[in-house]
Each structure stands twice: as structure tokens, then as C-alpha cells.
């Protein structure tokens, strides 16, 4: 039996390999032009024919206006887009730069926040606290601070003007106490023609009288004169150039503060010779009721010592106070002598001479 083998022709095979290509419209073939937009239409078949509806419009409400574009960028009011390039990106703060951070093993224990400048300004100066506690005067406090003789809460303070807590612990070195024990106070009978403080108008200061030649022979203090006693010697109170009497010169700041401090209440007694006619209520006004420079004076004790001399006891020392008080009531002062300061009397001390304040004497 013979076998018949059939071979496909090449033409038939090529036709089978070819695919059917769907023809496209010329508009779609041209890719250089944008595709045409399709119109949105709705066709409704009706019995009467075909109805074509117009494109849908946005609905507008009567009580609201159409929303308008603000023109802000997409990130307005929010966070700006992340900068993924890394340029200008801030690094994360390290532990030392943060106000607080996670605990670390090598970090010291937390401390109380330091006082602000405003709080520090409200605190008193160290020298003022020392003076208020009666340790010394402000001048002495400054000297002790510079010498490193003052400790505050266990820390040595050497800077002038340092402000501290009013309740801070203050410890004074024994060197300061020894230095304070060596200070002296001079009682001088100032004559007319000398000024109390610095030299002025050709008049010498009263301190020039403090020398061994003018020391009172009856001085019973037992203190020997030393040139070092002149160092820092200052008047504790004023006495006019044309006045005489007891003048205190001291190195001890505690004495100066007690006699001329703002809160001083030590009495000073004067004998005043006057001329003129006293007004009807003049004596009462001298005791209380007068004002100088718009400030009312403290109550005083004023009485007649004799027919031409008044006795004044004051607890303050305004400039030329007694002379100005007398002028307000019709009197003129022709002589003024201070005879007592606190419990210390001028006594028999001759004019132009001086003596030391004894260890047992207090103002």
C-alpha cells in the first residue's frame, strides 16, 4: 500500500503567519496631535424621537459662594516638602545641645537651674549683708573681700559687688577679726577754723590735729600712738567749720555705721548761743514741726539753757541743720558747741587735743 505525503506550500504558510491588522482612523495614527476630546452626551430614546442633553454644569447654592482658589502653594500652612537631597538639612541635636535628653551613665546628677539676671539683681550685695549683720562696715567688708577673708556658703569670695542670698552663711577669717581689733577711734575737740572732712577753701581738715603732740595727757585708754592709726581714719559725722566740740574719727566701720548710718538713732547734744527774737510758737516748732528741703525733721529736744543759749538734742545730722532751724523761727546762731555723742561726753578735753576711745567705752 502506497503512502501519499502532502507538503504545505510556502505561500500558504506565510498567509497563516500574518495577523489581521485593524485599521485606525487617520486622527489616531497622527501622534503629534493631542487626542480629540469626546463630548459627553446622553441620548435618551423617546417615543417622539431622540433627545440630546447639554453637558452638566456645577451646582451653585444660593447661600454659599463658589469656592475660590487661594493661590497658595501645596504646602502652605503645613510642613514644606522634605528635602531628600540632604542640602541644608539640620543635624539632630546631640545630648549636650538638648535642654534635656535621655539618661546616660556618664552624666553628672542634675542641678538646680541657675538664678536669672533679674533674680540676681534683686539680691543684696555681700558688703551690705555683712554691714546689716553688724560684722563690719561696708568699707571694711570691701577690704576683707579683696583680701580673701570672707567665705559665703563655704566658698571664698574675692569679687567686690558680689550679690548673695540674704540668708547665706558668712564666715569671717581670724585675720579679719585681728585686723578689726587693731582699729582705733579718736575723740577730738575740734576748734573753729577746721573742716570735718577733706580740706576745702584753704581750711585744713581736723585730722591734721591727730599727732602725738596733741594727745591729751589724761588719756586713760592705754593705747600707744602708731602711724598706722592714720590709715583709713575718717570722720563719723560732720561739724561745721565755724562750730566747735566733739568730733569722732574712726577706723572702725561699725562705729561709723552706728553714728551716721541711715538707721542711726544715737543722740547728739549741742549748746547753741543765739541772737534775735524767737517767734511765739518758735520753741514748739524747734522741737517738732519744721522741714528742711521739703523733708520733715525728726522730733528734737530743744530747751533754754540760759537767756541767750539753747540746748539741742538731735537724732539726725543734716547739713547746717541747727543754724537753718533757728533761722526759720527768727533766731541767728552766733556760737555752736557739741558736747555729747551717745554716752560719750566731751568732758574736760581741751580744744585742739584728742584721746583714744577706751575699750570699755561705747556710744
pLDDT at residue 17 tops 60: no
pLDDT at position 101: 38
Pairing type for strands 295-296 and 268-276 reads: unpaired
* CA–CA dist 354, 351 (Å, integer): 8
**What is the reported pLDDT for 122?**
81
Q: Pick the catalytic residue: 47, 213, 240, 262?
A: 240
> What is the value of pTM for the model shown?
0.57
- As given in the structure block, the three cell numbers for residue 54 are 447639554
Q: Which of 20-34, 156-170, 229-243 is the least confident region?
A: 20-34
Please choose, from the candidates 362, 331, 143, 346, the residue with its C-alpha nearest in 3D space to the C-alpha of residue 232.
143
Is 240 an annotated catalytic residue?
yes
All 3 cell numbers of residue 290? 519744721
pLDDT at 137: 77
- Who wins on pLDDT, 11 or 179? 179
Tell me the β-bridge partners of 19. none
Q: Is it the case that residue 90 has pLDDT exceeding 90?
A: no
> Would you kindly state where each structural domain of the chain is located, as residue ranges?
124-181, 185-356
Cα separation, 186 vs 230, in Å, equals 10
What is the dotted CATH code of the domain comprising 185-356?
A: 3.30.2350.10
Grid look-up 592714720 returns 230
Instruction: Look at 55-64, 134-143, 303-312, 340-349 and tell me which has the smallest mean pLDDT.
Output: 55-64
State pLDDT tens for residues 28-86: 555 565 655 555 454 444 444 545 555 555 555 555 555 555 555 555 555 555 555 54
**Helices 138-146 and 174-181 meet at what angle, rounded to 10?**
130
CA angle 19, 24, 26 (to 5 degrees): 145
Q: Please, which pLDDT band fits residue 117 given cuts at 50, 70 and 90? A: low
CATH topology of domain 124-181: 3.10.290
Q: Using the Cα atoms of residue 263, residue 267, residue 272 and residue 274 in order, give the sign of their dihedral.
A: positive
- H helix or E strand, kind and range, residue 251: none
Amino acid at each position: 500500500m502506497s503512502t501519499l505525503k502532502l507538503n504545505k506550500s510556502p505561500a500558504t504558510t506565510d498567509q497563516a503567519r500574518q495577523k489581521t491588522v485593524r485599521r485606525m482612523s487617520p486622527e489616531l495614527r497622527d501622534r503629534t496631535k493631542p487626542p480629540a476630546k469626546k463630548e459627553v452626551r446622553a441620548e435618551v430614546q423617546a417615543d417622539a424621537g431622540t433627545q440630546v442633553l447639554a453637558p452638566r454644569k456645577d451646582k451653585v447654592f444660593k447661600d454659599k459662594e463658589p469656592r475660590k482658589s487661594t493661590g497658595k502653594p501645596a504646602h502652605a500652612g503645613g510642613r514644606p516638602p522634605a528635602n531628600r537631597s540632604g542640602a541644608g538639612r539640620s543635624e539632630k541635636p546631640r545630648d549636650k545641645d538638648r535642654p534635656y535628653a535621655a539618661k546616660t551613665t556618664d552624666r553628672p546628677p542634675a542641678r538646680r537651674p541657675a538664678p536669672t539676671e533679674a533674680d540676681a539683681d534683686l539680691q543684696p550685695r555681700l558688703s551690705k549683708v555683712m554691714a546689716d549683720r553688724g560684722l563690719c562696715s561696708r568699707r571694711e567688708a570691701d577690704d576683707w573681700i579683696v583680701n580673701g577673708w570672707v567665705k559665703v556658703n563655704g566658698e571664698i569670695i574675692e569679687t567686690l559687688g558680689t550679690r548673695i542670698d540674704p540668708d547665706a552663711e558668712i564666715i569671717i577669717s581670724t585675720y579679719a577679726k585681728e585686723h578689726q581689733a587693731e582699729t582705733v577711734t579718736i575723740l577730738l575737740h575740734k576748734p573753729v577754723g577746721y573742716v570735718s572732712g577733706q580740706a576745702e577753701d584753704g581750711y585744713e581738715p581736723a585730722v591734721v590735729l591727730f599727732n602725738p603732740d596733741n594727745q591729751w595727757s589724761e588719756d586713760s585708754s592705754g593705747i600707744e600712738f602708731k602711724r598706722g592709726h592714720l590709715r583709713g581714719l575718717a570722720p563719723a559725722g560732720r561739724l561745721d567749720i565755724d562750730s566747735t566740740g566733739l568730733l569722732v574719727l574712726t577706723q572702725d566701720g561699725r562705729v561709723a555705721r552706728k553714728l551716721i548710718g541711715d538707721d542711726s538713732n544715737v543722740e547728739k547734744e549741742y549748746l547753741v548761743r543765739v541772737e534775735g527774737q524767737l517767734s511765739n510758737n518758735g520753741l514748739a516748732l524747734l522741737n517738732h514741726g519744721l522741714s528742711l528741703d521739703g523733708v520733715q525733721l525728726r522730733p528734737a529736744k530743744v530747751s533754754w539753757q540760759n537767756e541767750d543759749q539753747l540746748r539741742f538734742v538731735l537724732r539726725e545730722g543734716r547739713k547746717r541743720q541747727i543754724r537753718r532751724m533757728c533761722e526759720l523761727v527768727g533766731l541767728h546762731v552766733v556760737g555752736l558747741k557739741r558736747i555729747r555723742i551717745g554716752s560719750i561726753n566731751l568732758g574736760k578735753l581741751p580744744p585742739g587735743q584728742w584721746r583714744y576711745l577706751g575699750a570699755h567705752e561705747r556710744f
